[in-house]
């Protein structure tokens, strides 16, 4: 079974600074990888996903992530953050499941706190 590790529970950063949110996964098979963002009291919104092809994936709101198969990582980056990026960020991997449907396995989340 897959698992996802987000080592940083909280990442404080100043506005306009770059940020990297780390995500590592464990799996014995090929996987699909996702980053979701959750604003306070809201549902999850997809930022970006890796299915295949280029290992650098660009998403919404200026975020990007790089899939590194050898290090089993899928770190999320943004070169310059805004106050509005303050939210909880979840990395997820798709578990094939017995019949091939997308059963998402989530990490515990990283809270990004952007201050002026």
Partner 1 sequence: NAGVMQNPRHLVRRRGQEARLRCSPMKGHSHVYWYRQLPEEGLKFMVYLQKENIIDESGMPKERFSAEFPKEGPSILRIQQVVRGDSAAYFCASSRQGQLQETQYFGPGTRLLVL
Position 107 contacts partner 1 (CB under 8 A) = yes
- Measured from the CB atom, the residue of 29 and 116 that comes closer to partner 1 is 29
Position 7 contacts partner 1 (CB under 8 A) = no
The CA distance from 76 to 56, in Å, is: 10
Provide the 3-class DSSP secondary structure of residue 73: strand
Cα 72 from chain centroid?
A: 13
Instruction: Give me the phi and psi of 72, to 5 degrees please.
Output: 45, 55
List, in sequence order, every residue forming a beta bridge with 35; answer none if it has no partner: 48, 91
Position 67 contacts partner 1 (CB under 8 A) = no
Select from 15-23, 40-48, 61-69, 71-79 the region that touches partner 1 (CB under 8 A): 40-48
- Measured from the CB atom, the residue of 19 and 93 that comes closer to partner 1 is 93
- Give the residue carrying structure tokens 């798709």: 94
Which positions touch partner 1 (CB under 8 A)?
4, 6, 32, 36, 41-46, 49, 51, 90, 92, 94-109
């Amino acid at each position: 079974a897959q698992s996802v590790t987000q080592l940083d529970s909280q990442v404080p950063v100043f506005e306009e600074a770059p940020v990297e949110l780390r995500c590592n996964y464990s799996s014995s098979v090929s996987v699909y990888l996702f980053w979701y963002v959750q604003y306070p009291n809201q549902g999850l919104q997809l930022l970006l996903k890796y299915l295949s092809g280029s290992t650098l994936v660009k998403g919404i709101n200026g975020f990007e992530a790089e899939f590194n198969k050898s290090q089993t990582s899928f770190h999320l980056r943004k070169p310059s953050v805004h106050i509005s990026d303050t939210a909880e960020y979840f990395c997820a991997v798709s578990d094939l499941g017995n019949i091939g449907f997308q059963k998402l396995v989530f990490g515990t989340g990283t809270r990004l706190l952007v201050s002026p």
